Structure 1
């Protein structure tokens, strides 16, 4: 028997414009912001409650040695994905990219190559360089059905000397949820070449039911031998300003690496970040998450209809996960970076496609974690430029 879930309602534009975060302060009030990965919903009640109580108590000091993040994440992973995580393999830090950098510093030597799979989240490139590595691009393979990891390309890169793979699972910006079979095959390749896979899984809780999310470390025994996962509740629960992320080692060898990280890595975790992540990962927040997924599921399909009506030459495949849409506008001849024209002439701020790699030329990324009416207004503005 199916249970009807009421979609979460976004806050009003008047409420949102009172926010002081990047999404609502980078541009003036004549611009509709759809660029950065912040969502427009009220916080989960459990998160609001724990943060409100902390402020009332003046509980704004240092993060304790054990803030409960480990246990909360282990419980969440078991409930949501059926993934049994060894608590002793879990550590934490300020955010996902911090965790990725610290792990990469321990698994590569300066100058060694790290595979990334463009188009991909722009900080991946900077993160590899910050860790002392060199980016080796192995683009996703695109088809009418979606995007896939180029396993042969990864194999060739590792055979040629690359020492690690920085995986985005689910993938940003395409929203691809990699299959368990693909992840297991990737792990086998990495194991053959004694390479490491570091998987950014921040969008994992936002996979839609049609394409279940498989954590990389749950894909196979090989994955546990070669892998790390880094994730956070921040994207799902809109907590980017509250610093906390989880690092998971696949096996005891990886867990030892995490335990040997400098104490400062853990100290970068903010107290409010830890409190909010614990609340977000608690069973109390599961109902809110289901309502969020219902709202996002409706919006990803609404966006397809709106583009077909107003921007008919746009190419868009609804994502398997997340609230970010990867849209090809190259048919309109608006240049390699159409977001510039859209911002200037339509007053809609989209993320710049070329920042995700050369594969992003002619593309934009659109954040649809918002009110459906606001999404409609944005697409209608873009459509006016397209003559739609």
Structure 2
């Protein structure tokens, strides 16, 4: 059952009806007490702006939902996808004018494991999976681990999808009559590119012409900054045979509360129904409670976060112009990530190594993102303006 009427009430932390910027709520001392990967992978003197965790407190409606579950001992097995699907459907209707039935959904442990399961449905060992390099590094790791071949279709110089490059990759991927899939990252990680409806319609047309099945990782979908709009892949003409993987984990910083949803287009529903039942055992019941609460009741918190991220993106551009003018950064419209072209600094293929060693700032190394990653680094913007200023100051000192 959909719960209504609580979004504004749950989020009304300020007179204007929007909570304060979550990125300004945690001090460095607070963050250093955390025991997650972001804050334990490096020495205490390193500023970690690498893995996709945000430096924010948990949204109050989410904390309340989890605490209530613990109070009543509601910590058993998940009951099925309906609760999550209903919450995500309501969010998608409000944000993207898109809806889907719960009957075309399945619970999966997280987005990447869901991607693996969707690829298993539409490809076999030895088949190809097309990706748009530079791209999220686990795409390479998970695809090769499941005995599929990676075929790259690099983004163009502006960080956008290129139909000619994609057509060439589809041709190579389907050579010899083999099945193939296209693992679409939307919005794109690491560039922050938000694909347009026209671009996605071209993708669907090409995929249909070549018989390539599209699996869309849309984990960053709620993280589209003001002025841009996420277009769900399954909503575009020709997207009916695709699959989407979605989760509240990135937008509300809930990676430690495992849960995600696979959604099938109308032409892929029968295949999704064949997903092994044991896959649904992986998500956390408490995770589903947390994610549903975020999607239903913490949208004001999300809007405050998006405003803070837009401010941080502008601040980063200002700081780079002042301290590291040789670094190029095409402003992305989505995610909380910035893709830095550091080739002008003369730091070699892996500038993140120099920033860590000499500046004590941890970024993600560009070469791990595939073709186009050499000389680049990925920076996580989801931190306080003070930490961002100190990080860029340290990076400049490393040059």
Into which bin does the TM-score normalised by the smaller protein fall? over 0.9
Rounded to whole Å, the distance in 2 between the matches of 1:349 and 1:77 is 34
The one-character-per-residue Cα deviations of 1:71-118 (angstroms, maximum 9, x if unpaired) are 111111101111121221111111001111001011012111111110
Question: Is 1:104 equivalent to 2:104 in the alignment?
Answer: no
Q: Look up the match of 2:247.
A: 232
**CA displacement at 1:67 relative to structure 2:** 5.9
Rounded to whole Å, the distance in 1 between the matches of 2:151 and 2:275 is 26
Q: Of the candidates 284, 292, 295, which is equivalent to residue 281 of structure 1?
A: 295
Q: Of the candidates 177, 184, 200, which is equivalent to residue 217 of structure 2?
A: 200
Q: Look up the match of 2:91.
A: 76
Matches within 5 A, 1:161-240: 161-162=173-174, 163-220=180-237, 222-224=238-240, 226-240=241-255
Rounded to whole Å, the distance in 2 between the matches of 1:385 and 1:287 is 39
Q: Per the alignment, in what secondary structure is the counterpart of residue 150 of structure 2?
A: strand
Rounded to whole Å, the distance in 1 between the matches of 2:370 and 2:172 is 22
Matches within 5 A, 1:1-388: 6-8=20-22, 9-66=24-81, 68-142=83-157, 146-162=158-174, 163-220=180-237, 222-224=238-240, 226-251=241-266, 253-282=267-296, 284-386=297-399
Rounded to whole Å, the distance in 1 between the matches of 2:145 and 2:244 is 19
**CA displacement at 1:242 relative to structure 2:** 1.0
Contact 1:102 1:131 in 2 (8 A): no
Rounded to whole Å, the distance in 2 between the matches of 1:156 and 1:360 is 21
Q: Per the alignment, in what secondary structure is the counterpart of residue 298 of structure 2?
A: helix
**CA displacement at 1:127 relative to structure 2:** 2.0
Contact 1:10 1:370 in 2 (8 A): no
Rounded to whole Å, the distance in 2 between the matches of 1:4 and 1:48 is 19
Q: Per the alignment, in what secondary structure is the counterpart of residue 315 of structure 1?
A: coil
TM-score (norm 1): 0.94
Rounded to whole Å, the distance in 2 between the matches of 1:151 and 1:331 is 29
Rounded to whole Å, the distance in 2 between the matches of 1:358 and 1:191 is 26
Contact 2:342 2:376 in 1 (8 A): yes
Contact 1:190 1:196 in 2 (8 A): yes
Contact 2:81 2:107 in 1 (8 A): no
Q: Per the alignment, in what secondary structure is the counterpart of residue 301 of structure 2?
A: helix
Rounded to whole Å, the distance in 2 between the matches of 1:314 and 1:66 is 45
Rounded to whole Å, the distance in 2 between the matches of 1:67 and 1:88 is 8
The one-character-per-residue Cα deviations of 1:347-367 (angstroms, maximum 9, x if unpaired) are 101111111013111111000
Rounded to whole Å, the distance in 2 between the matches of 1:79 and 1:44 is 19
The one-character-per-residue Cα deviations of 1:288-309 (angstroms, maximum 9, x if unpaired) are 1110101101001100001111
Q: Per the alignment, in what secondary structure is the counterpart of residue 182 of structure 1?
A: helix
Moved more, 67-76 or 50-59: 50-59
**CA displacement at 1:59 relative to structure 2:** 2.6
The CA RMSD measured in Å over matched residues stands at 1.4
Contact 1:120 1:173 in 2 (8 A): yes
Rounded to whole Å, the distance in 2 between the matches of 1:160 and 1:318 is 32
Structure 2, unpaired ranges of 5+ = 1-15, 175-179
Number of residue-to-residue matches in the alignment: 377
Distance 1:48 1:361, change over 3 A: same
Rounded to whole Å, the distance in 2 between the matches of 1:313 and 1:25 is 31
TM-score (norm 2): 0.92
Q: Per the alignment, in what secondary structure is the counterpart of residue 188 of structure 1?
A: helix
Distance 1:42 1:168, change over 3 A: same
Rounded to whole Å, the distance in 2 between the matches of 1:184 and 1:66 is 28
